[in-house]
Amino acid sequence: MAVGEAGSVSGKMYSLTEVKKHNTEEDCWIIVHGKVYNVTEFLDEHPGGFDIILTNTGKDATEDFEEIGHSNAAKDLLSKYIVGDFEGGDVSHLNKPSISAVRAKQTTSSGNPALKLLQVLLPLLVILAAIFVPKYLL
């Protein structure tokens, strides 16, 4: 099961302010894919170390959790620690550029390979025209 679909929860909803209060080794909550997990008990067992999880408290940890390339076993393990839903839903996408930002970038030359090619070819065409047009056409 994917983490994002991590089972049904008791319906308890937590705000970021609430989750942020649990940011210590003795009481550690994280948010992954819109769910809130109390991973306090797991901290000492974590193969990646407890500190890396602690630095992920108080914010959406989805991106860091996924970036590591956690195994499915690790993802399944998560569901054991679920305490509720995050009020803000799955906000992992907020850490990434918004659709409008991506689209804006695509319309600029930096994101569009065809435009980049045109930027190189256009001056070349002008130079060639400057050489050959007077030579053969005039």
Binding residues for ligand HEM, rule: CB under 6 A, are 30, 39, 42, 46-48, 52-53, 56, 61, 64-65, 68, 70-71, 73-74, 77-78, 81
Backbone angles phi, psi at 38, to 5 degrees: -100, 100
Q: Which one, 70 or 112, has the nearer CB to ligand HEM? A: 70
CB of 74 to ligand HEM, least distance (A): 4
CB of 94 to ligand HEM, least distance (A): 16
Q: In this structure, are residues 37 and 8 in contact, taking their beta carbons and an 8 Å threshold?
A: no
Q: Which one, 48 or 111, has the nearer CB to ligand HEM? A: 48
* Buried b or exposed e, range 11-20, using 16+ CB within 10 angstroms: eeebeeeebe
Q: In this structure, are residues 6 and 36 in contact, taking their beta carbons and an 8 Å threshold?
A: no
3-state secondary structure of 11: coil
CB of 48 to ligand HEM, least distance (A): 2
User: Nearest to ligand HEM by Cβ — which residue?
Assistant: 48
Rounded Cα distance between 131 and 112, Å, is 30
Q: Which one, 68 or 125, has the nearer CB to ligand HEM? A: 68
Phi-psi label, residue 74: left if phi above 0, alpha if psi -120 to 50, beta otherwise: alpha
CB of 105 to ligand HEM, least distance (A): 27
Q: Which one, 66 or 112, has the nearer CB to ligand HEM? A: 66
